[in-house]
Chains A and B, each alone.
Chain A
Amino acid sequence: MPPHSPAPHPETWIEIRPAGMYCVPGGFYVDPVRPVERAVITHGHADHARAGHGAVAATPETLAIMTARYGAEPEQDRQAVRYGETLRIGDVTVSMHPAGHVLGSAQVCLEYRGARLVASGDYKRRSDPTCAAFEPVPCDVFVTEATFGLPVFRHPDDRAEIAKLLDSVALFPDRCHVIGAYALGKAQRMIALLREAGWERPIYIHGALQTLCDLYRDHGVDLGDLQPATAGRKGVARDEFRGEIVIAPPSAIADRWGRRLPDPVICMASGWMRVRQRARQRGVELPLIISDHADWDELLQTFDDVGAPEIWITHGNEEALKHAAAARGYRARALALVGYEEEEQ
């Protein structure tokens, strides 16, 4: 190869296939939505980390989360890559960098003949006591999510939202506050934020959260006193939960499970809670705008921070983000990937 040959544009070595984004010279997919021979995984949420791949490379935390969810998958060839470490797959150098989304979440940096693409997976920019903070990685192409890719999404300060919750708990001491929060990441972050705000009482968790809370603890995240929220019999309101905080997956709060709580205040922790009718549709009485995704301003700020001339947009409200990125002088392209959930929960 001549010494000054230009680096090949990622367009020439990345393909969008039905299973997802495919790196041709490495022979692997990033976050494929169906089982493939070789996958690199950004983080442990089910729509990004699926079961059944032949070989998987991910951070040790993400691999632990996948094991907790899908079992050991003994046939699978697993490769743990820590933040900052590199791995050679085919002709491509792969490295992992914190994405700030959930425990173990990574931006995957792919380098091929001097060209560099960063697939950020899902990410956020705010500090989160339960995971490593996002690190901007300079690159030629930055692949971004667009979950909150509309200028109506501006997440307020987390601490103000937690204060709103604690005010409500003080105002209704006879009611139980049940918070719908995604089982991986959001639930543990809510617990950690409550602890930071001085809530020292036990926090009661739905059975579906137990394994992941234990896993977070094993990775050194202090969650304080957690108790199972399963005491009591069917059809009998559990009076011991009056004045307490219960955390459950969003699907459980509106279900029969939630009805056994005494006069519950239904809360939901999600960036979607910014839109009133969204909160109403879910029967939420106390919306808490707490998100593990970047909001609109943070998405645009991130483009400036990574300094990539070109932005590829994967899933969410990609049209608006593409428009705004183009207006700021970036070359922007919507990848039209399918299979990732629009919902945060």
Chain B
Amino acid sequence: MKPFAELLDRLIYTPSRNAKMARLVAYFRTAPDPDRGWALAALTGALGFKGVKAGAVRELAMRRADPVLFEWSYDYVGDLAETTALIWPEQATNRDWPSLTEVVDRLQTATRAEAADVIEEWLDPLDATGRWALLKLITGGLRVGVSSRLAKVALAEYGGVDPSEIEELWHGIDPPYAELFAWLDGRWPRPDLDDRPIFRPPMLAHPLEEDEVAGLDLASFRAEWKWDGIRVQIASRGGETRLYSRTGDDIGGAFPDVLDHVTFQGVVDGELLVVLDGEVRPFNELQQRLNRKTVSAAMLRKYPAFVRLYDILFDGSEDLRPLPFDDRRRRLERFFDREAPRRMDVSDLVAFDGHADLDALRVSARGTATEGLMLKRGDAPYIAGRPKGLWYKWKRGPLTVDAVLMYAQRGHGKRSSYYSDYTFGAWRENPETGAGELVPVGKAYFGFTDEELRQLDKWVRDHTVKRYGPVREVSQGLVLEVAFDSVHRSPRHKSGVAMRFPRVSRIRWDKPVADADRLETLERMIE
């Protein structure tokens, strides 16, 4: 546990990417198996313990700390693991630090009741850094400034292989990655995963800015609609079929209406949508089906799922990714004609004639269940990650409203102790009294610069009228211009509307709150 705690402690304070890589490589070189595998799992977010929830850590803290003082401290620190690590009263003991493997092994089998006791025993011999590392490991989400990608790149550097080789194998090997380390150390051949329906890292697009469009050689690009669903991958090998989200989560359990009809062998890439009577439904209908483990018959009837195919990665066992887009596209059409998979179709190519035409198409996209256009180079192979210059997403412009800041909450991670999550409202007439009032219409926590965050934080502190735990209510005095992609009806919200991707686009220090937008303005924007 000590080398792991030191690694996390140094990583969180190391600003440069190269220095972080060097620390990770040094750790992989010196830490024993399977400790380093578990550490890699923790850094990439692949480690979780069913028996332990964040609530357990809070309960544990209450065993040793005054609950009121704990809440004040948590409100200030903004991180449960760190608060508990810092508030934990040290108690002399001659017990040793547990090893990382000991911690993982014990927690994977522990019941909820056992877990709390065993963690409490571990905490006493540790110092503040050790306690923090242990609790971060347990609660997940280390937030030490190392992305899952960086950890894998460091691993590739350690083994002297290309990072794409790690990505390719990644979803087929489980922690603590014994066969992966054995291969990187030259003790074992490269793991063979070809007969399993593993997730293949997808190719992603760069956002296209207005001023970049003119610089593109449009003749070498193909256009498609950017459908407003979620990007998925269907992998079918050796009699097994999986539906993966963009990040590789297996979400197939909730979508039997798509998976049960898959008879093909191969890997395809597409957009998961709700399609009813041939019509693509708005995103919030798909939302009803997401984040569920199972699905009811009523849901299947009301929100039937569908996949619009964009690309083909494997036809049977043939890897098509090195082929140019145009060739893959022809292979996708042939594949579709041959296999005729149910509840799927192939995304249309959109014909266009020059920049002006393309722009007109993009703007016309509003109201059609699309978010804009995709532009893909006809000669580009399928490359995992976000390679430059090959794929672009060109979204239609966002909608905006001027809303009034109502509540602010402290953020987490890098923004802990700053008030960085803002609930904003629009004006309406109170249905009973007829008086003007603000009703919350959304919440945003990005879109501003670090400097603006400091100004907003100060404004919130200076204009607080009430405090509800971590939330502050502020006086009606600041207008935020909020940008969002679309707005939908939502019975769950008091205002009856919900925005998609709201973000603060400008702080209107100049604008009087009385001039902020009304709820009716938002309602008119519903598609």
**Interface residues, chain A, with chain B CB atoms under 8 Å away:** 150-154, 274-281, 283-287, 317, 319-320, 323-324, 327
Q: By the criterion CB–CB under 8 Å, are B72 and A284 in contact?
A: no
- Shortest beta-carbon contacts, A-B, top 7: A152-B86, A320-B72, A277-B416, A152-B73, A150-B73, A151-B87, A285-B13
B132 in the interface (beta carbon within 8 A): yes
B440 in the interface (beta carbon within 8 A): no
B161 in the interface (beta carbon within 8 A): no
Tell me the nearest residue of chain B to A274, going by C-beta. B86
7 contacts between A and B (CB under 8 A): A150-B72, A151-B65, A151-B86, A276-B132, A277-B414, A277-B416, A278-B416
A268 to chain B, nearest CB (A): 11
B350 in the interface (beta carbon within 8 A): no
SS of B interface (majority): helix
Cβ contact of B68, chosen from A274, A280, A323, cutoff 8 A? A323
B155 to chain A, nearest CB (A): 24
Q: By the criterion CB–CB under 8 Å, are A317 and B145 in contact?
A: no
Cβ contact of B72, chosen from A279, A280, A285, A317, cutoff 8 A? A317
Name which of B27-35, B77-85, B201-209, B223-231 contacts chain A.
Answer: B77-85
A181 to chain B, nearest CB (A): 18
Q: By the criterion CB–CB under 8 Å, are B414 and A320 in contact?
A: no
Cβ contact of A152, chosen from B14, B66, B87, B418, cutoff 8 A? B87
- State the CA gap A151–B15 with chains docked (Å): 29
Q: By the criterion CB–CB under 8 Å, are B72 and A319 in contact?
A: yes
Q: By the criterion CB–CB under 8 Å, are B86 and A280 in contact?
A: no
Q: By the criterion CB–CB under 8 Å, are A276 and B12 in contact?
A: yes
B213 in the interface (beta carbon within 8 A): no
- Known contacts: A152-B86, A277-B82. The answer to whether A284 contacts B76 by CB under 8 A is no
B290 in the interface (beta carbon within 8 A): no
- State the CA gap A151–B69 with chains docked (Å): 7
Chain B contacts with A in 415-468, Cβ cutoff 8 A: 415-418
Q: By the criterion CB–CB under 8 Å, are B76 and A285 in contact?
A: no
Contacts of A278 in B (CB 8 A): 416-417
A5 to chain B, nearest CB (A): 39
- State the CA gap A48–B66 with chains docked (Å): 33
B238 in the interface (beta carbon within 8 A): no
Tell me the nearest residue of chain B to A342, going by C-beta. B461
Q: By the criterion CB–CB under 8 Å, are B414 and A324 in contact?
A: no
B413 in the interface (beta carbon within 8 A): yes
Q: By the criterion CB–CB under 8 Å, are A320 and B69 in contact?
A: yes
- State the CA gap A319–B69 with chains docked (Å): 9
Tell me the nearest residue of chain B to A324, going by C-beta. B69
Q: By the criterion CB–CB under 8 Å, are A277 and B66 in contact?
A: no
- Counting chain A CB atoms within 10 Å of each CB, the highest count among B68, B79, B86, B145 belongs to B86
- State the CA gap A97–B83 with chains docked (Å): 35
Q: By the criterion CB–CB under 8 Å, are A286 and B13 in contact?
A: yes
- Known contacts: A151-B65, A324-B69. The answer to whether A275 contacts B77 by CB under 8 A is yes
Q: By the criterion CB–CB under 8 Å, are A277 and B72 in contact?
A: no
- State the CA gap A275–B13 with chains docked (Å): 12
- State the CA gap A323–B13 with chains docked (Å): 33
B523 to chain A, nearest CB (A): 39
Contacts of B415 in A (CB 8 A): 281
Q: By the criterion CB–CB under 8 Å, are B14 and A285 in contact?
A: yes
Contacts of A286 in B (CB 8 A): 13
Q: By the criterion CB–CB under 8 Å, are B13 and A280 in contact?
A: yes
Contacts of B132 in A (CB 8 A): 276
Q: By the criterion CB–CB under 8 Å, are A317 and B76 in contact?
A: yes
B427 to chain A, nearest CB (A): 31
Tell me the nearest residue of chain A to B13, going by C-beta. A285
B416 to chain A, nearest CB (A): 4
